[in-house]
Structure 1
Amino acid sequence: MPEFAHDFPFDPTYGLTRDALLAVPAPPAPEGFDAFWRARFEAAARVAPEPRLGALVAERAGVRVHEVSYGSVAGRCGGWLVLPEAGRPVRHGFVIGHGYGGREGVADALPLPLPDAAALLPCVTGMPGRSRRADVPEWPEEHVLHGIGSRETYVIGDCVADLWCAATALTELVPELVGRGLGYLGESLGGGLGALALPWDDRFRAARLTVPTFGNHPLRLTLPCAGSGEAVRRLHRTRPEIVEVLALHDAATAATRVRIPVLTAPALFDPVVPPPGQFAVHNALAGPRDLYVLTAGHFPHAGEATERRGLEQATTGFFGRWLG
């Protein structure tokens, strides 16, 4: 197991070996789980996103980057559209999620996993830099609690819908992608949202989930952390009834319904998203699955750049097999 010097008042490995992490299960689905998410997807499918292509903000590495906005269930979202350089065909499409803290640009997503690809990189509801809303807090510790009193109002469900609507906006902006099958990439928040989104939308044919959050909420409620999950733990002490809403938004439970190929990159050491929850998502996947284990997540370390390069190589090979 990795050993890092840190000053957290808890062990970010939670005392679990890789073998133990690979045995962490998903919680059972609550009654009405599938019906809840199918209804949410159907509501998102009824939204006309009316995507608006904005300014060209960059041309580099063989791609063009435009600002973009589109409609979703809770209002309009902003983001970026990445296209191949002028004259190049589009053969692949991706929706790329982001972590808590939002997204200020596309540098972290370039180059795209496959050549001749287009991608829509949304900012989900309430997040900086292009989807801030006065009625939704942007700080992770507050955002993750927004609307948690009810399954219908919990902001995480709106953020999942933002991914489905992003896929619709992408295919409207790039009609060559209609019927081709899309890839999804998401990290941390984006990883958890992706696991929740994938079972219900057959436009996605393969995905990568990196250090995914929201896996196995009953277990997460017992694990201290330095991320948004700690805010959920604190609230649960005074409002234990929120477990009913959390159960419907459990990424590991949703993963039991994911039958497309998924490359998962969980971490052995992570102070922000507890590794047992990350591995619970991987372990629950119902379809073909590849595993790329990271030494640490949400924690800078000497080998981080090398591991990330290895993950990007694995990602290209993975999507090449399933979307190529």
Structure 2
Amino acid sequence: MTSFTHDFPFDPAYGRTLDELMAVPAPPVPDGFADFWRARYVEAREVVTDPELGPLEDERDGVRIHGVTYTSVGGVRLGGWLALPVEGPAAEPVRHGFVIGHGYGGRQDPGTDVPLPLPSSAAILPCVRGTGARGLVAGIPEVSAEHVLHGIESRDTYVIGDCVADLWCAASALGELVPGLAGTGRLGYLGESFGGGLGALALPWDDRFAAAQLTVPTFGNHPLRLTLPCAGSGESVRGYHLRHPGVVDVLRYFDAATAAEFVGQPTLVAAALFDPSVPPPGQFAVYNALAGERELLVLPAGHFEYEGLARDEAGLVEARRGFFGKWLA
């Protein structure tokens, strides 16, 4: 087990060794799970995303970064950023594409998601509904502890389902803006924390994605998560469950570990041994359940500052580059 000095009122390693984490299973698949998500995917693919490219906002790390807006399910208009290879005599055509999810709290700018994992790549960095600088939607709370409960009374109204659809629609918008990517088998997904959990839920039903990398993914094994205190959005769900125990019937359809059993794409998971925000047993449950080719990078900690963090982040960047270089080449 990894041990760090901390002031949390609980153990962010949850007393698990690596061997124990590698044995955490996914919960049973609820009736109609696949049908529910396939229907959501069909609905999202029918959306006319009508993407609009904004003016150039930045140029760095071999890409030009523009603002972008697009339409998602329910007619909701969302924003984000689009990264395109720098133009010029030496510029190469776009050979790879990425949809890049974000953590809870959203993104205020492209941040460390640029540079991209591979050269000659384009990427869309959406702000899913209710989050970040360009994803705010009237009626959806921006604060993560409230956002994660929005519409949780029913699987048909839970905001997490619409956030997954926002990623599918982002992929459609990227395909319209960079039409040369369509059908190439060179579209990847990247997601961390909240974006990692959303990615696990999105991947099984969308064969446009050829490979994915999930970092400290959330929403894994909800029945177990409900027993584990944390400092992240899961604590809000735990509190809601104490007042409304029937919510477990909704959460079963939004379990990233359950969804992982349907993920056939090669997937690299970076899971942490110590994480106060996303309990490691849930992260490893996602990796353990993956049905396709999989690779694991074990991190000492997630959502936590520690000595050696910069070194480990650089190692993850290198692992990600090698992984996508193998599967999206």
Deviation at 1:111, TM superposition (A): 1.1
1:4-43 to 2 correspondences below 5 Å? 4-43=4-43
* Residue in 2 that maps onto 1:85: 86
Q: Distance in 2 between matches of 1:9 and 1:312?
A: 32
Q: 1:312 aligns with which of 298, 313, 317?
A: 317
Q: When the two structures are superposed, what TM-score results if normalisation uses the length of structure 1?
A: 0.99
Q: Distance in 1 between matches of 2:21 and 2:145?
A: 26
For the residue of structure 2 that corresponds to 1:293, the secondary structure is strand
1:174-189 to 2 correspondences below 5 Å? 174-181=178-185, 182-189=187-194
For the residue of structure 2 that corresponds to 1:296, the secondary structure is coil
Letter paired with 2:115: P
For the residue of structure 1 that corresponds to 2:273, the secondary structure is strand
For the residue of structure 1 that corresponds to 2:57, the secondary structure is strand
Deviation at 1:205, TM superposition (A): 0.4
Q: Distance in 2 between matches of 1:168 and 1:90?
A: 16
Letter paired with 2:35: A
Percent of aligned positions that are identical = 67
The answer to whether structure 1 residue 294 and structure 2 residue 285 are counterparts is no
Q: Distance in 2 between matches of 1:308 and 1:261?
A: 21
Deviation at 1:128, TM superposition (A): 1.5
* Residue in 1 that maps onto 2:66: 66
Q: Distance in 1 between matches of 2:138 and 2:21?
A: 40
Q: Distance in 1 between matches of 2:309 and 2:49?
A: 38
For the residue of structure 2 that corresponds to 1:65, the secondary structure is strand
Q: Distance in 1 between matches of 2:56 and 2:139?
A: 29
Q: Distance in 2 between matches of 1:322 and 1:305?
A: 26
Deviation at 1:44, TM superposition (A): 0.2
User: Which has the higher mean CA deviation after the structures are superposed, 125-134 or 32-41?
Assistant: 125-134
Q: 1:124 aligns with which of 128, 146, 150?
A: 128
For the residue of structure 2 that corresponds to 1:171, the secondary structure is helix
Q: When the two structures are superposed, what TM-score results if normalisation uses the length of structure 2?
A: 0.98
Deviation at 1:251, TM superposition (A): 0.2
Deviation at 1:107, TM superposition (A): 2.1
* Residue in 1 that maps onto 2:119: 115
Deviation at 1:9, TM superposition (A): 0.7
Q: Distance in 1 between matches of 2:179 and 2:252?
A: 37
> For residues 44-98 of structure 1, what are the alpha-carbon distances to aligned partners after superposition, in whole Å with 9 as ceiling and x for unaligned?
0110000010121001121100000100014011100000001421000000000
Q: Distance in 1 between matches of 2:223 and 2:3?
A: 27
Q: Distance in 1 between matches of 2:120 and 2:133?
A: 27
* Residue in 2 that maps onto 1:161: 165
1:182-261 to 2 correspondences below 5 Å? 182-261=187-266
Q: Distance in 1 between matches of 2:150 and 2:27?
A: 23
Q: Distance in 1 between matches of 2:112 and 2:161?
A: 25
Q: Name structure 1 gaps, 5 residues minimum.
A: none
> For residues 124-149 of structure 1, what are the alpha-carbon distances to aligned partners after superposition, in whole Å with 9 as ceiling and x for unaligned?
00112101112100101000000000
Q: Distance in 1 between matches of 2:83 and 2:302?
A: 26
Q: Distance in 1 between matches of 2:55 and 2:29?
A: 44
Q: Distance in 2 between matches of 1:167 and 1:274?
A: 29
Number of aligned positions between the proteins: 324
For the residue of structure 2 that corresponds to 1:49, the secondary structure is coil
- What RMSD over aligned residues (CA atoms) do the two structures have, in Å? 0.6
Q: Distance in 1 between matches of 2:239 and 2:87?
A: 51
The answer to whether structure 1 residue 150 and structure 2 residue 154 are counterparts is yes
Q: Distance in 1 between matches of 2:58 and 2:302?
A: 29
> For residues 192-248 of structure 1, what are the alpha-carbon distances to aligned partners after superposition, in whole Å with 9 as ceiling and x for unaligned?
000000000000000000000000000000000000000000000110111111000
Letter paired with 1:195: A
The answer to whether structure 1 residue 285 and structure 2 residue 290 are counterparts is yes
Structure 1: 4+ residue segments shifted above 2 A? none
For the residue of structure 1 that corresponds to 2:80, the secondary structure is strand
Q: Distance in 2 between matches of 1:60 and 1:224?
A: 40
Deviation at 1:106, TM superposition (A): 1.0
The answer to whether structure 1 residue 50 and structure 2 residue 44 are counterparts is no
For the residue of structure 1 that corresponds to 2:151, the secondary structure is coil
